[in-house]
Amino acid sequence: MLKKFDKKDEESGGGSNPFQHLEKSAVLQEARVFNETPINPRKCAHILTKILYLINQGEHLGTTEATEAFFAMTKLFQSNDPTLRRMCYLTIKEMSCIAEDVIIVTSSLTKDMTGKEDNYRGPAVRALCQITDSTMLQAIERYMKQAIVDKVPSVSSSALVSSLHLLKCSFDMVKRWVNEAQEAASSDNIMVQYHALGLLYHVRKNDRLAVNKMISKFTRHGLKSPFAYCMMIRVASKQLEEEDGSRDSPLFDFIESCLRNKHEMVVYEAASAIVNLPGCSAKELAPAVSVLQLFCSSPKAALRYAAVRTLNKVAMKHPSAVTACNLDLENLVTDSNRSIATLAITTLLKTGSESSIDRLMKQISSFMSEISDEFKVVVVQAISALCQKYPRKHAVLMNFLFTMLREEGGFEYKRAIVDCIISIIEENSESKETGLSHLCEFIEDCEFTVLATRILHLLGQEGPRTNNPSKYIRFIYNRVVLEHEEVRAGAVSALAKFGAQNEEMLPSILVLLKRCVMDDDNEVRDRATFYLNVLEQKQKALNAGYILNGLTVSIPGLERALQQYTLEPSEKPFDLKSVPLATTPMAEQRPESAPITATKQPEKVAATRQEIFQEQLAAVPDFQGLGPLFKSSPEPVALTESETEYVVHCTKHVFTEHMVFQFDCTNTLNDRTLENVTVYLEPTEAYEVLCYVPARSLPYNQPGTCYTLVALPKEDPTAMACTFSCMMKFTVKDCDPTTGEMDEEGYEDEYVLEDLEVSVADHIQKVMKVNFEAAWDEVGDEFEKEETFTLSTIKTLEEAVGNIVKFLGMHACERSDKVPDNKNTHTLLLAGVFRGGHDILVRSRLLLLDTVTMQESGGNSFPSFCIQKQKYPGFVLF
């Protein structure tokens, strides 16, 4: 208590910060001193400091007052005091976007940057570039070119860095300075070389060939600056990634040669670049790992940390490659720096054998309390990886996790632990009971609402299916009694799920729910009343539809649709089918459960992509009246090679009875402009092309979009899968690459694209059914169809499961897409929605003889099941 008081006293004393109680108006008043003559440099510099402090504290300066202060400040240019002048540069930079007419100082700055005082020149360049916009750049271009090749390093560096900033607004102007930058790149000063290289790269980064040429040039001549080397390595590895290819390329040789550089920084950068290359083989990793191994015994803590952190990353993908370093890592376990020790242990956990786990766990628990939350999360992640690797060890690991769960810790840390436990429960059915009961204990004393609701949701989902479901009820009902409203609401939903699935528990659940009806909170009351009424009906279909499996529509979409409905009231009742479906399966989030911020975000992002498409399509007059957009294909398909004259990508949008193909075209020829671009489609099946919406004009490097509208066949449902041959037709107009002037006359031309496939999966949207059994029963027998297929080319169950999921484009429920080892039968449960909003459920039993045999039964709420049935011949193909 005493200590706390002292601290507070210290803070309120204000002795530490002389600027604490500054008032904007007072400071601006003081700034009038600038107008006086002669100038007092000390006083003025102090006032400028105050102004800068205010701006940096986020104080808002109005345009008029800022301009007034700015003009007063310009008068300080008559003083030759170096400190004051440099404060002026800072102020100019800070005020450049607040005050008006800041270009007034242009000539003064140009004078300083070409003057004799070297101390002024660099900062003057920076300030000048800050106040210059693209229209004024012409006037200072000459000075910039001179400054770039200046022999004073600070001036040259400043000019280069400023050019880099200018690149954003006036690319074409800065591009002309390449020769000067080239000259600066051969400078002896390490910073100048680094900055020059940076500018050169950014000017050329859109041109792969030029970048390659640049790298090979500099590798041949060698560089002075380690920073420049590091950057070259980054550029090279990015280049390699985009090329996604052969390791024989000179780029890779360059990175590898950097492993033998004399600067540690470069060596580390090269090693980390190799480690991060996708699809790196063990042989390529070896030199990088051995370099990192050397760093592990370095006397510098930073190097040790970097090395062990990188090794930790490698261990996730290639544990065997790191095994060689185990001895060095063992030494680091006792490192005085706890961060290094933690990373060393977690790396060892990933690479070590099953037998060493117990020892390592003991070691780490000895200093678990000393490390920060951030590293605790790393430990938890390592443990979760271990659980997947050695399922038999789950008892030890679970215990360790629960001790950690009981200790103090922040939200991120606790969430990592809960995530880990949940994934263990999902992976390993043996651990389910112990895991659930531990989690029950955790929510007894849990300060994080999000975690509590999440665990309650899990209990509701898994609890009823355990041997002794009644023991969870006490924990759940305790929450109803003790917690605040969000958790209470979650608990009520969990209770209802128990009631819906267990006949014998139903009466007691009803009693509990009746008590909740008197709750203080609206949401809790509403849920309780709703569930109570549904459960009292005692109908399985109702239970399945409204308690066990929730809404499958996207929440933002529903919100928008409802708002639209209230704005334009009509006689018709609101149709839930018109709402777009959630594009990502809602794994954790259910409409009934309390809002979970953590899981909500990704879902929202995914939903907006489809919404963007919907808005774009709605803006095209030809597409009016197609109804709501059902599904957009997740990734655009390339119809050309990536390096051709024209690059075309296609996105498919499915409506109830139509399909829109969106072609995103880019013209990569700078000497021509395309006009009236359309993509003609020739279907193989009964699809009918209705209209083409051309892209008006396609100048060089500016993407354009054209659409083709196709009617889906109504009578013949076999034609769901279809291949279109595509042809792009357009008018070419030649133009001057530099000026962009176009010829008046154009000529017709066409360009053959690759074929476009429409598959069954395009018509089906994935939907998550949390409780598949219940949903299956809800549909009933009358819509069920059953057929048997032989999948002759498929050798394993995993392959079969993967292919079926991909072909149907449906969502695998209850983790049935994971095939347990050493079994030759498997049941795959799939759920989806067919366009038009018809639910489809598929249960396929797979049997592995010599080839996989599949017996598939589908149930759906689609009145005529023929589509589902007709679709099957497709399976024989694979």
Partner 1 sequence: MGLLDRLSGLLGLRKKEVHVLCLGLDNSGKTTIINKLKPSNAQSQDIVPTIGFSVEKFKSSSLSFTVFDMSGQGRYRNLWEHYYKDGQAIIFVIDSSDKLRMVVAKEELDTLLNHPDIKHRRIPILFFANKMDLRDAVTSVKVSQLLCLENIKDKPWHICASDAIKGEGLQEGVDWLQDQIQSAKT
Q: Which of 537, 450, 543, 433 minimizes the C-alpha distance to 498? A: 543
Cβ-proximal residues to 377 (8 Å cutoff; 6+ apart), any chain = 412, 413, 416
Residue 79 or 678: which CB sits closer to partner 1? 79
Binding span for partner 1 by CB under 8 A among 67-75, 218-226, 612-620, 648-656: 67-75
Q: How far is the CB of 101 from partner 1 (least distance, A)?
A: 6
Classify burial at 229, counting beta carbons within 10 Å of its beta carbon; exposed 0-12, middle 13-18, buried 19 or more.
buried
Q: How far is the CB of 154 from partner 1 (least distance, A)?
A: 22
Q: How far is the CB of 38 from partner 1 (least distance, A)?
A: 6
Classify burial at 823, counting beta carbons within 10 Å of its beta carbon; exposed 0-12, middle 13-18, buried 19 or more.
exposed
Looking at 17, 107, 119, 793, which residue binds partner 1 (CB under 8 A)? 107
Site string for partner 1, 87-106 (x = CB under 8 A): --------------x-xxxx
Rule CB under 8 A: is residue 75 a binding residue for partner 1?
Answer: yes
Q: Which of 492, 425, 414, 416 minimizes the C-alpha distance to 453? A: 492
Q: Contact 361/331 with Cβ under 8 angstroms?
A: no
Q: How far is the CB of 108 from partner 1 (least distance, A)?
A: 5
Tell me how far apart the alpha carbons of residues 258 and 267 are, in angstroms, rounded to a whole number.
6
Tell me how far apart the alpha carbons of residues 488 and 494 are, in angstroms, rounded to a whole number.
10
Q: Contact 96/66 with Cβ under 8 angstroms?
A: no
Binding span for partner 1 by CB under 8 A among 108-116, 162-170, 510-518, 591-599: 108-116
Structure tokens, 591: 């409409």
Q: How far is the CB of 139 from partner 1 (least distance, A)?
A: 6
Residue 34 or 177: which CB sits closer to partner 1? 34
Residue 141 or 664: which CB sits closer to partner 1? 141
The count of residues interacting with partner 1 (CB under 8 A) is 20
Binding span for partner 1 by CB under 8 A among 72-80, 168-176, 391-399, 416-424: 72-80
Q: How far is the CB of 91 from partner 1 (least distance, A)?
A: 15
Residue 110 or 676: which CB sits closer to partner 1? 110
Site string for partner 1, 14-53 (x = CB under 8 A): ---------------------xxxx---------------
Looking at 40, 41, 53, 77, which residue binds partner 1 (CB under 8 A)? 77
Tell me how far apart the alpha carbons of residues 265 and 438 are, in angstroms, rounded to a whole number.
47
Looking at 53, 71, 367, 878, which residue binds partner 1 (CB under 8 A)? 71
Residues in 180-199 at the binding interface with partner 1, rule: CB under 8 A: none
Cβ-proximal residues to 719 (8 Å cutoff; 6+ apart), any chain = 685, 686, 687, 713
Rule CB under 8 A: is residue 134 a binding residue for partner 1?
Answer: no
Looking at 40, 49, 108, 428, which residue binds partner 1 (CB under 8 A)? 108
Q: Contact 791/851 with Cβ under 8 angstroms?
A: yes
Structure tokens, 206: 């859109």
Q: How far is the CB of 33 from partner 1 (least distance, A)?
A: 12
Binding span for partner 1 by CB under 8 A among 68-76, 118-126, 581-589, 805-813: 68-76
> Which 3 state secondary structure label does DSSP give 247?
coil
Q: Contact 848/858 with Cβ under 8 angstroms?
A: no
Cβ-proximal residues to 264 (8 Å cutoff; 6+ apart), any chain = 295, 298, 303
Q: How far is the CB of 60 from partner 1 (least distance, A)?
A: 23
Residues in 506-535 at the binding interface with partner 1, rule: CB under 8 A: none
Q: Contact 47/29 with Cβ under 8 angstroms?
A: no
**Long-range contacts (CB closer than 8 Å, 24 or more residues apart) made by 478-486:** 478/444, 479/443, 479/452, 480/512, 480/515, 480/516, 480/524, 483/452, 484/449, 485/519, 485/520, 485/521, 485/523, 485/524, 486/449, 486/453, 486/594, 486/595
Residue 71 or 680: which CB sits closer to partner 1? 71
Structure tokens, 544: 């399945």
Q: How far is the CB of 36 from partner 1 (least distance, A)?
A: 8
Q: How far is the CB of 45 from partner 1 (least distance, A)?
A: 17
Rule CB under 8 A: is residue 110 a binding residue for partner 1?
Answer: yes
Residues making contact with partner 1 (CB under 8 A): 35-38, 71, 74-75, 77-78, 101, 103-108, 110-111, 136, 139
